[in-house]
Amino acid sequence: MRLFGKQYTEHSDEKLMQMIAEGDQQAFTELYERYSTRLLNYFYRMLWKDREKAEDFMQELFTKIIHKPHQYNPERPFKTWVYSVANNMCKNEYRRAEIRKPTSYTLDEGIQVSDNGVDVSRKIDAGTFNERLMEELELLDEKKKETFILRYVQDLPIKEIAEMLDCSEGTVKSRLFYTVKHLSDKLKVFDPAQKELKL
Amino acid sequence: MSDKEYNNVPDIDVLLSKPFAELDKDEQQWVLETMGSEEAFEDLRLNHAYMMEQLDDLPVIQPRKETHAALLAEFPQKERRGGFILWMNSLATFLVPPGKPVYRKPAFQMAIACLLLIGFVWIANPGATPENDLLASANDLQQELEGAPAFVDKVELDYELLADNYVTEEEELADAERPVAPVDDEQEVLPLIAFDAGPPANTFMAYEAENEPAEITAAIEEEVAPADDVANNFLPEVSPGTGLSSGDYRANLEDLEAGDRVAMEEVLDESTTATNSNSNNGDNVVMDPNTRVPATTDDKFADLADNRVGNDAYKDEPAKLGEVKNDGGVETSEVIAANEVEMDGKKRNDMLLKEKAKEQQDALAAKQELEGRESENSRLEDAIAVERERDKVNNVTNETVTGTSTGNTENNNLAFSPQFDADLDFVQNDTMPSPLVMPDSAMFLGGTFTESPSVTPLQNGVYTITATDVSTAGTADGTVTINANGSVAPYTYHWSPTPPAPTNKKGRSLAKDKDMMKFFFTAL
């Protein structure tokens, strides 16, 4: 509880960044508490669920905020800016690792939503739906993956995602539609319709 | 697919939130074009919903604490600010901790405790309210203004004492039997005594005409008044027994007790010089013949100042010299004691008078003790009247010096330095002849004149005072009796003013509030 002095929790992200630029350590702590978990999970999803790498990337991102706070443009929303930085870091990491998967990579050839009950049973037995979903996400191309994670994991609005990725909202919608459609086709083996989902 | 085409893509979340039947025509058209059938759309809806549900259940990893610590370590170290604010926030956190019910917060509990304490105090002492305190203060003030009983009693007591002093005839008669005047209720007896201590043994009276102090210069240069004028000028001259008021006298006594006798001795010297002129006839009237009020010290100094002015004029006008030449010279005598009795003791209460009388008696006792010690080595002071008369004819060198040693004139050794001419009519070891002619004034003025008298020491003078009060108010029948002994008899008593029925040592028919008695006696 803080009754006296500055109420950091009431400050916006942009104000906190301004205070960090002035050397306010408390402002940095507040900003860290707001975004550390989200960024860590983002990095975690984007970087192959590598916890250590995600921690390193998250720490590197906040280190940039500490040492180069003036690179932030106050006229731009901080969330958009920080996710853009995080996304660029992931892209760089993709390049370094040369593990970028082609968009054409699919499981169509291996896992067919077919009558092959063995495959279905294997998949079901292999893990839960989430694990399979994450696996399918890892197989997506970079743009669809980041768009899907930002939208459905980070719960960011389409408009902000468009700003982060420096594209139009229609592009984000299109990427999301085709990604969902693709994942639905790949995960059809779970047959959600038979699980009595109530829509 | 181009961006334009993308712009036609609906929001997938909105689209999949509704069944196909609820979609508008454009949306249905778009779904049929992209998915091929309504069933494919419905399957997509189910899978999307299930996917979102599962995504919500994704585990959320938390950053390690050391990561934050490592980041703070990299934060630029700056001067800590807001220490007091941090402390206040800590205090606030303690008093109003978040996440607790109100009744469990220390601030709330302490507030309740304070209220209970105040309530207990109020119940235990219901009358101690600010309003009651203010009312009590007002009542006290009112009683004080109207006259508190205790205060009235004291006032009445004071009046009774005063009434006893002035009204009761029996008490006045009883007071008449009192032997000592200073404790009289109506008369404030302030005895003044002045002892002419004289110079110490091997008296050395010297003056240097050029470097001497102003008073001594004035004493040398001033023309001593003729014998007839001494009586009139006596009061203005400093006579410690007569010229000083009681207050001044007490101040002098205090000074004497403090060891500062210089001023008093100067006063005594001047007084002796003035009184000795008529010491043989004993006709000293120590009062102002016009006002019947003794001259004050200020008057004395004023006269001294006038004499000095005259001396300055004398220097400038040599023709005036000698006009006040004193043939008789100045006689040195000792004023053994003097007393002053003031009968203006109205509105003095008995306690105050007794205290004052006791203080005076103590002061006199100390004075007498001091005089007794000093008198052993004292000598009668011989006054040497030295008068000069410039040669009016030549107006230059010749100057007449008249030296007269009076009083104890035995074996006076008079000497001039540098030595005068041997032809001078001056015999040492004898009374200085008169006149002594000094042919060389410069020689005299630049030298010193000494006298070493060898006389018999005086005994210490002792006096007692016996006073009787007036019998009744308005009756002039008070008496004051002075008895002197010691020193050298006979004694001569002088009263001022002369009482209606005077005697040598007893003044009678003294009236209250009317006669201010001043007396002294001399012994030669």
Average pLDDT across each block of 10 residues of chain B; the chain has 524 residues. List them in order: 56 81 84 83 81 78 86 71 73 83 89 93 74 72 61 38 45 51 42 36 35 47 42 38 46 48 48 39 39 42 42 40 38 42 55 81 78 47 40 42 44 47 38 40 37 45 71 75 68 67 64 61 52
pLDDT at B35: 81
pLDDT at A27: 87
Mutate to test the interface with A, among B44, B47, B52, B74 (most CBs of A within 10 A): B47
Q: Is the pLDDT of residue A95 over 80?
A: yes
For residue B384, the 8-state DSSP code is B
Q: What are the chain A neighbours of B87 within 8 Å (beta carbons)?
A: none
pLDDT at A94: 83
H helix intervals, B169-226: 169-175, 214-221
CB-CB contact of B269 with B238 (8 Å): no
pLDDT more than 90, % of chain A: 8
Beta-strand (E) ranges in B183-273?
Answer: 188-190
Question: E strand or H helix at B481, and its extent?
Answer: strand B478-486
Give the integer Cα–Cα distance in Å for A66 and A60: 10
How many residues in total does chain A contain?
199
Q: What are the chain A neighbours of B10 within 8 Å (beta carbons)?
A: 173
User: Does residue B54 belong to the interface with chain A, where contact is any CB pair within 8 Å?
Assistant: yes
Q: What are the chain B neighbours of A43 within 8 Å (beta carbons)?
A: none
More confident residue, A67 or B501: A67
ipTM of the complex: 0.73
Neighbour-count burial for B344-382, b at 16+ CB within 10 Å, e otherwise: ebeebeeeebeebbeebeebbeebbebbeeebeebbbbb
User: Does residue A196 belong to the interface with chain B, where contact is any CB pair within 8 Å?
Assistant: no
- Give tens-digit pLDDT for A172-197: 888 888 888 888 888 776 665 555 44
Beta bridge partners of B491: B523
Average pLDDT rounded to a whole number, residues A77-82 = 88
User: In the numeric block, which tokens belong to residue B386?
Assistant: 């030295």
Q: Which of B479, B482, B470 is nearest to B513 (CA)?
A: B470
What does DSSP say about strands B478-486 and B448-452: parallel, antiparallel, or unpaired? Answer: unpaired
Helix, strand and coil percent figures for chain A, each rounded to 5: 70, 0, 30
For residue B37, the 8-state DSSP code is S
pLDDT at B45: 83
Report how far apart, in Å, the C-alpha atoms of B113 and of each of A23, A131, B1, B90, B107 are: 43, 59, 75, 22, 10
Q: What are the chain A neighbours of B23 within 8 Å (beta carbons)?
A: none
Beta-strand (E) ranges in A79-167?
Answer: none
User: In the numeric block, which tokens belong to residue B379?
Assistant: 């000598």
- In this complex, which of B12, B64, B86 lies closest to A176 when CB atoms are compared? B12
Kindly determine whether residue A170 and residue B16, on different chains, have CB atoms separated by under 8 Å. no
Place of tokens 């050794």: B413
Kindly determine whether residue A1 and residue B60, on different chains, have CB atoms separated by under 8 Å. no
Mutate to test the interface with B, among A43, A132, A176, A199 (most CBs of B within 10 A): A199
SS3 call for B405: strand
pLDDT at A21: 86
User: Does residue B14 belong to the interface with chain A, where contact is any CB pair within 8 Å?
Assistant: no
Give the integer Cα–Cα distance in Å for A177 and A171: 10
Give the integer Cα–Cα distance in Å for A149 and A43: 10
pLDDT at B96: 85
Cβ–Cβ contacts within 10 Å for residue A55, how many? 19
- In this complex, which of B7, B19, B64 lies closest to A55 when CB atoms are compared? B64
Give the integer Cα–Cα distance in Å for A126 and A131: 9
CA atoms B267, B268, B269, B274: torsion sign: positive
Q: Is the pLDDT of residue A149 over 50?
A: yes
Task: Give residues 139 to 178 of A whose Cβ lies within 8 Å of B.
Answer: 152-153, 158, 168, 170-171, 173-174, 176-177
CB-CB contact of B62 with A35 (8 Å): no
User: In the numeric block, which tokens belong to residue A77?
Assistant: 């929303």
Interhelix angle B38-56/A169-186, rounded to 10 degrees, is: 90
- In this complex, which of A40, A130, A171 lies closest to B54 when CB atoms are compared? A130
